[in-house]
Amino acid sequence: MRDDSALRSAPSAPELPPGPARADVVSLWHERARRLGLSERQQPDLGALAGRALQELTGEYQALVAHAVPVMELLHQQILNTHSMVLLTDRRGLIMHALGDADFLERAERVALAPGVLWSEDSKGTNAIGTALAEERATLVHGSEHFLTVNRFLTCSCCPIRGPRGELIGALDVSGPHQGYHPHTMGLVRLSAQLIEQQLFRGAFGHALRIHLHPRAERLGTLLEGVAAFDDDGRLLAANPNACELLGVRPGAHAGYMLSSLFDLDGPAALLHARGALEGPRPLRLRSGEVVWARLEPGVAAAPQRSTTMPRVPPAAPPPRVRSPHFADLDSGDAAVAAVIAKLRAVRGHDIAVLILGETGTGKEWLARAVHNESPRRDGPFVAVDCACLPESLIEAELFGYEEGAFTGARRRGSPGKILLADGGTLFLDEIGEMPLALQTRLLRVLQERAVLPLGAGRERPVDIALVCATHRNLPDMMRRELFRADLYYRVNGLTVRLPALRERGDLPTLIERILGAPSGPVPALSPQVLRALSRCLWPGNIRQLASVLRTARALAGDSGPIRPEHLPEEFFASAAGEEVRVEPPGAADLHALRADAVCAALQRNGGNVSAAARELRVSRNTIYRAVRAARST
């Protein structure tokens, strides 16, 4: 058994240019290769798995290959004409799939940089693939840093890939001639590996409740978010590295954690609201006291099992199905919303593309569904695609579909894609401003030709769709910066309407009544203090946040009602403070005189650490900063 303790305590390997610290690390790597009995001048083992053996290996890693190959294709496009290869390996370092520039393939074949060949440290000594897997961290090996002389014409950047439960399952690598080294390559490899891990997590826990977390609401849905999965009893099943850091959970050690032990919420109530189709983002307070933004994603039910066991959750627990909206359902008395509806009524049936503008949470998809339901296509499908939630590598296959065998890991019999699924109905492209430029060109062709060409298909298929798009981005500004195609913009904005933010609307009482009313039952009474708090909030999460707060309050108040200040969730006040919203929890007026002293004392106890003081006082860091500023001004 090899002793790696010295190397594991070494500093993380920096990128080029090499310095003394990096030279020391590389020296340790080479010494490890010598202890394995390797010689720098020896010829590497070029033996390769082939045929059925290689097929069986890729079959064992079916999920990894299926999610990795589209990402590899995108990565290869980004490094095209750099004389490089993109490689996917299993956890041992055996190459399972490779993409490369034709002019580099011949040189790569000389050192067996090809599927079926093992690139572990035991076989090749120091190299990016084997060393990244041995170190379990992203690793760059450049030129003479390779142990075997025959490999020193290469520069290689590799990042390990972890499975849904944090286990090491493979690696993603970009290799090319050392003259073509570029410092951005490692960044691209890291991002691509994260995309693969994100999709593996979603695929493994699609049945479970998933909570997406980040301290900033706008970072939800990006590679920076944390994701944690819970079963029906609220037990933590798994968490990605970002979520582990936020929740204070050691990666891979998830046993024993419960929803109620990680979040400052009652467990049953939290599960009830999680099943209530809360779209978020909503604020949640962690047990540490820190407030984060979260999006709760209910699991998709698995196929029925041959069992007569009754479900744990009684039939009344999930919220009743709400009928798909029409314009009348959205007209709640606000003049701006009424003007939007009037414009949409005037163009229905005229095959005019609709572009809906508005902040996150203002109800853009709800309005898009109403446009569909009021159109002659109401009996056809309504197909929604969130361009912001899908990684770039998957949007193309998701939208345009693919034929069987279009790429390794493609689903048997292929997939029709969202555009063809919307044939005869309405295609809703949410957050179209996030669509990559290359796919904007393909979408424009579909809209012009009324035909779609799936990946790997030999002929186009006709399609008849109505198009509704939505975005919170400034598309004209994106056009000026060449981030959005002008010709596509003029195709999608036949009629542009803007949904006002909740803070701009004058129908808050009606919205509250509708959210709390049927089909949930009689509308509970709201105390004057609650009405005042709701009316003074600026609602950064808009209608989604309002619905989340009200449903939580109703559950905490019980069937008897009324809803009082203590029934408003604590995270409502915490998020209000963090967003400079002038809403205070019950009794806050009595605390103002004590706040500065309490904050100063907490800071002193915690050695000036603002985060620790905020956790102790169970407030946001912004509250601490404001209290300090207020104390200094008095």
pLDDT for residue 318: 41
For residue 90, give the nearest of 74, 112, 68, 122 by alpha carbon: 68
Counted domains in the chain:
4
Rounded to whole angstroms, the Cα distance separating 555 from 442 reads 47
Percent of the chain's residues with pLDDT above 90: 24
What is the Cα–Cα distance from 512 to 535, expressed in whole angstroms?
Answer: 10
Q: Are residues 473 and 495 in the same domain?
A: yes
Which of the pair, 530 or 58, is modelled with greater confidence?
530
Average confidence (pLDDT) over 568-581 = 54
Average pLDDT value for residue range 315-334: 65
Chain mean pLDDT for the chain:
78
Residue 48 has pLDDT above 80, yes or no: no
Paired tokens of 404: 């069987």
Instruction: Give the pLDDT of residue 3.
Output: 39
Is 471 a residue whose pLDDT tops 90? Answer: yes
Q: Which contiguous run of DSSP H or E holds residue 86?
A: strand 85-90
Higher pLDDT: 137 or 386? It is 137
502 vs 582 pLDDT, higher one:
502
- List all residues 6 or more positions away from 530 whose beta carbon is below 8 Å from its beta carbon: 553, 563, 564, 565, 567, 568
207 pLDDT exceeds 50? yes
512 shares its domain with 495: no
Are 255 and 352 found together in one domain?
no
Residue 162: what pLDDT?
92
**So what's the pLDDT on residue 301?**
46
Predicted model pTM = 0.48
More confident residue, 372 or 248: 372
Compute how many other C-beta atoms are within 10 angstroms of the C-beta atom of residue 605: 12
pLDDT, residue 316, reads 32
Residue 305 lies in a domain: no
**Exposed, middle or buried: residue 526 (CB in 10 Å: 0-12, 13-18, 19+)?**
buried
Q: Mean pLDDT across the stretch 68-76?
A: 86
CA-to-CA distance for 536 and 551, rounded, in angstroms? 19
My answer on whether omega of the bond before 586 falls inside 30° of 0, hence cis, is no
pLDDT classification of 590: cutoffs 50, 70, 90 = very low
Q: Are residues 284 and 336 in the same domain?
A: no
Domain end position, chosen among 451, 485, 500 = 500
| CA dist., res. 624 & res. 634, Å (int) | 16
Are 285 and 403 in the same domain? Answer: no
Same domain, 247 and 141: no
- Model confidence at 304, pLDDT cuts 50, 70, 90, reads very low
d(CA 423, CA 440): 19
* Residues forming beta bridges with residue 170, ordered by sequence position: 90, 161
Over residues 490-502, mean pLDDT? 93
- pLDDT for 589 beyond 60: no
518 and 435 together in one domain? no
Confidence category of residue 456, pLDDT binned at 50, 70, 90: low
Determine contact, residues 348/497, Cβ cutoff 8 Å. no
The separation between the first and the last C-alpha atoms of the chain, rounded to the nearest angstrom, is 66
Cβ partners under 8 Å of residue 263, min gap 6: 270, 284, 285, 286, 287
266 in a structural domain: yes
Listed residues 450, 466, 500: the one ending a domain: 500
- For residue range 329-374, list pLDDT tens digits in order: 898 888 999 999 999 999 988 889 999 999 988 999 999 999 999 9
pLDDT on residue 633: 55
| Rounded Cα gap, residues 490 and 26, in angstroms | 55
CATH of the domain at 233: 3.30.450
Asked, for residue 320, whether it belongs to a domain, the answer is no
Q: What's the pLDDT score for residue 621?
A: 64
Provide the pLDDT for residue 391: 61
Res 171 pLDDT > 90: yes
In a domain, residue 317? The reply is no
Contact 469, 444 (CB under 8 A): no
**Best mean pLDDT range from 181-185, 312-316, 456-460:** 181-185
Please tell me whether residues 47 and 156 are part of one structural domain: yes
Residue 565: cis peptide before it, omega within 30 degrees of 0: no
Read off the DSSP letter of residue 206: T
pLDDT at 242 over 90: no
Query: 307 in a domain, yes or no?
Result: no
Task: Give yes or no: residues 541 and 494 share one domain.
Answer: no
Two tokens at 629?
């500023």
pLDDT for 602-629, tens place per residue? 777 776 777 677 666 666 666 676 667 6
Would you state the structure tokens that stand for residue 25, as one six-digit string? Answer: 């690390």
C-alpha–C-alpha distance, residues 539 and 404, integer Å: 47
In a domain, 302, yes or no: no
CATH of the domain at 82: 3.30.450.40
CA distance 50 to 242: 38
In terms of residue numbers, what domain contains 554? 507-633
Residue 15 pLDDT greater than 50, yes or no: no
Residue 608 belongs to some domain of the structure: yes
User: Rounded to whole angstroms, how far apart are CA atoms 40 and 18?
Assistant: 20
Confidence category of residue 537, pLDDT binned at 50, 70, 90: confident
Mean pLDDT of the region 484-510: 92
Which pLDDT band holds residue 119 (cuts at 50, 70, 90)? very high
| Same domain membership, residue 527 and residue 485 | no
Helix (H, G, I), strand (E, B) or coil at 593: helix
- My answer on whether 271 and 399 are in the same domain is no
Same domain, 26 and 171: yes
Task: Write down the pLDDT at residue 453.
Answer: 82
Task: Give the integer Cα–Cα distance in Å for 387 and 101.
Answer: 30
SS3 of residue 28 by DSSP = helix
Name the domain boundary from 183, 200, 217.
200
The kind and range of the H/E element at 489 are helix 486-492
With cut-offs at 50, 70 and 90, classify the pLDDT of residue 209.
Answer: confident
3-state SS class at 214: strand
Residue 276 reports pLDDT greater than 50: no
CATH number at residue 434: 3.40.50.300
191 φ/ψ angles, rounded to the nearest 5 degrees: -60, -40
Share of the chain above pLDDT 70, in %: 74
Does the residue 429 lie in any domain? Answer: yes
